[in-house]
């Protein structure tokens, strides 16, 4: 029982970490000299790195991506706190329904974020031929999988002594 | 001064008592005090008169102002002068276009009258929105265009306070006001979290209400059980209470007068 508990906690923490890295790191779109993410575009030349906020040509969709990424991170953290709370409050045999709902919402959120970014890629990057998705983008999709599996696990599991 | 007056009164009283008839001495005391006060005032006046030469008129404007094409922008200019505001106070605004070395004058204020030259570039676009009484020399430029990119210089003079350097503000005109970074983001995050919180609170309230409805039913069942199980003891308890009541009443009636007894008997 303790082993399962440990595994679930680690899984949840891993998804939180993934979400944080994906939201913060500047690697959603990489080109030879510059990297871009949902917050800023950084250009490196030999001497220094210049970062400037995302230009207004990106439109409002980038703000939706920002919002949903932040939302999923917050929900995942709240889910962890709720899991710890439910661990002590629930009666024997009951399921962690509340935590499961929060995790599912977080998973939905990050899916929406990644989906919008994938769809609007051309609008964001002016139909750039060169350049490719960075690791933050990939981590966002992996975080979606993790939070989804975590939510399902909370739905299935029952509290035992 | 507030502290000095009581002392003056006390000393005055003393003077009156000690040298009531000696008017000359009293008069000299008054004269000495008056001269001391005058000396204070003269010193203060000297300090105030000396100060302005050490300071100059100060003019405050913003460093950079952002405007949107087609909209209005307010260029604020505040000044501070140690002198009182005289009627000859003047304020002028001039404009130096971006990349140019020439300065054109677009506004002048003198003798309580604002002068707007209405030159070809700023024709009917400059408006005086300041208030000299509040030392506010702001103007408003209406219907901005990209040719308004440049530096606006504000200069004020308040005779005799005429030493002071003008202050400049740079105007940058944008194509259209972009959606402020983060407005949509904050709105989405706030709305979703707020909604989630509302739903949680609602569910909690509903659970509380459902819990309250069940409780009275439980109470009734407990009471009924109590009645059937403890009927005998209850009656005994009643009997005990009744006897106590009777005894107390008897006790009361003995003590009180006959007039009251009648009413007590009625109550029984």
Cα of first residue to Cα of last residue in chain A, in angstroms, is 9
pLDDT of residue B263: 40
Q: Cβ of B193 and A74 within 8 Å?
A: yes
Mean pLDDT computed over every residue of chain A: 90
How far is CA B158 from each of CA A42, B46, B57, B84, B210, rounded to the nearest angstrom? 51, 21, 8, 8, 76
Q: In this complex, is the C-beta atom of B201 within 8 Å of any C-beta atom belonging to chain A?
A: no
Residues in A closer than 8 angstroms to B184, CB to CB, are: 60, 63-64, 67
Q: In this complex, is the C-beta atom of B196 within 8 Å of any C-beta atom belonging to chain A?
A: yes
φ/ψ bin of B241: left (φ > 0), alpha (ψ from -120 to 50), beta (otherwise): alpha
Q: What is the percentage of chain A residues whose pLDDT exceeds 90? A: 58
pLDDT of residue A154: 93
Across A72-78, average pLDDT: 95
Using CB atoms, which residue from B181, B183, B193 is nearest to A53? B181
Distance CA A158, CA B1 (A): 83
Across A34-48, average pLDDT: 88
Q: Cβ of B189 and A60 within 8 Å?
A: no
Looking at chain B, which runs of residues are DSSP E strands? 58-61, 64-68, 73-75, 77-80, 90-97, 104-110, 113-115, 126-128, 139-141, 150-157, 167-174
pLDDT of residue B100: 87
Q: Cβ of A67 and B189 within 8 Å?
A: yes
Mean pLDDT computed over every residue of chain B: 74
CA–CA min distance A133, chain B (Å): 23
pLDDT of residue B84: 85
For an interface test with B, the pick among A62, A67, A101 (most B C-beta atoms closer than 10 Å) comes out as: A67
CA–CA min distance A108, chain B (Å): 12
Q: For residue B150, which of B141, B158, B159 has the smallest C-alpha distance?
A: B141
CA–CA min distance B125, chain A (Å): 29
Give the confidence band of A73 by pLDDT, cuts at 50, 70, 90: very high
Element (H, E) at A43: strand A40-44
Specify the pairing of strand B126-128 against strand B139-141. antiparallel
CA–CA min distance A107, chain B (Å): 14
Residues in B closer than 8 angstroms to A68, CB to CB, are: 188
pLDDT of residue A58: 82
Q: State ipTM.
A: 0.78
pLDDT of residue B33: 76
Q: Cβ of A67 and B185 within 8 Å?
A: yes
Chain A from 132 to 161: CB within 8 A of any B CB: none
Give the count of beta carbons closer than 10 Å to the beta carbon of residue A56: 15
pLDDT of residue B215: 61
Q: Kindly provide the b/e burial profile for residues B230-267, where b requires at least 16 CB atoms within 10 angstroms of the residue's own CB.
A: eeeeeeeeeeeeeeeeeeeeeeeeeeeeeeeeeeeeee
Residues in A closer than 8 angstroms to B189, CB to CB, are: 67, 70-71, 74
Using CB atoms, which residue from B178, B179, B188 is nearest to A67? B188
Q: In this complex, is the C-beta atom of B180 within 8 Å of any C-beta atom belonging to chain A?
A: no
Q: In this complex, is the C-beta atom of B199 within 8 Å of any C-beta atom belonging to chain A?
A: no
For residues B140 and B171, is the Cβ–Cβ distance under 8 A? no
Q: Low-confidence residues of chain B, pLDDT below 50? A: 1-4, 6, 52, 226, 229-234, 236-245, 247-249, 251-268
CA–CA min distance B182, chain A (Å): 7
In this structure, what token pair is assigned to residue B125? 């676009």
């Amino acid at each position: 029982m303790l082993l399962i508990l440990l595994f679930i906690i680690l899984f949840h923490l891993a998804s939180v970490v993934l979400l944080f890295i994906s939201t913060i790191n500047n690697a959603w779109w990489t080109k030879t000299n510059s990297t871009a993410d949902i917050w800023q575009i950084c250009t490196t030349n030999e001497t220094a790195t210049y970062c400037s906020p995302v230009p207004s040509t990106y439109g409002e969709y980038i703000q939706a991506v920002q919002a949903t990424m932040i939302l999923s991170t917050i929900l995942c953290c709240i889910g962890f706190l709720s899991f710890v709370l439910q661990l002590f409050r629930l009666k024997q045999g009951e399921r962690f329904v509340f935590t499961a709902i929060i995790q599912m919402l977080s998973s939905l959120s990050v899916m929406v974020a990644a989906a919008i970014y994938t769809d609007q890629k051309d609008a964001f990057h002016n139909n750039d031929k060169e350049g490719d998705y960075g690791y933050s983008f990939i981590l966002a999709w992996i975080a979606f999988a993790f939070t989804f599996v975590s939510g399902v696990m909370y739905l299935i599991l029952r509290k035992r002594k | 001064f507030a502290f000095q007056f009581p002392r003056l009164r006390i000393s005055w009283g003393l003077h009156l008592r000690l040298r009531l008839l000696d008017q000359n001495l009293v008069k000299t005391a008054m004269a000495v005090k008056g001269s001391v006060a005058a000396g204070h005032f003269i010193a203060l006046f000297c300090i105030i008169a000396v100060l302005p030469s050490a300071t100059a008129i100060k003019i405050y404007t913003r460093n950079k102002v952002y405007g949107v094409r087609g909209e209005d922008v307010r260029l604020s200019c505040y000044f501070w002068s140690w002198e009182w505001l005289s009627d000859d106070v003047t304020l002028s605004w001039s404009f130096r276009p971006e990349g140019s070395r020439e300065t054109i004058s677009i506004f002048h204020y003198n003798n309580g009258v604002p002068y707007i030259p209405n030159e070809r570039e700023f024709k009917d676009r400059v408006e005086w929105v300041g208030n000299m009484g509040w030392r506010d020399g702001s103007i408003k430029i209406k219907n901005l265009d990209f040719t308004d990119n440049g530096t606006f210089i504000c200069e004020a003079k308040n005779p005799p306070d005429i030493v002071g350097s003008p202050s400049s503000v740079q105007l940058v005109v944008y194509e259209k006001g972009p959606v402020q970074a983060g407005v949509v983001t904050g709105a989405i995050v706030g709305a979703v979290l707020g909604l989630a919180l509302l739903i949680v609170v609602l569910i909690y309230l509903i659970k509380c209400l459902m819990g309250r409805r069940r409780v009275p039913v439980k109470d009734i069942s407990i009471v009924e059980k109590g009645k059937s199980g403890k009927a005998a003891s209850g009656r005994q308890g009643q009997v005990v209470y009744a006897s106590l009541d009777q005894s107390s009443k008897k006790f009361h009636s003995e003590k009180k007068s006959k007039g009251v007894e009648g009413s007590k008997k009625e109550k029984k």
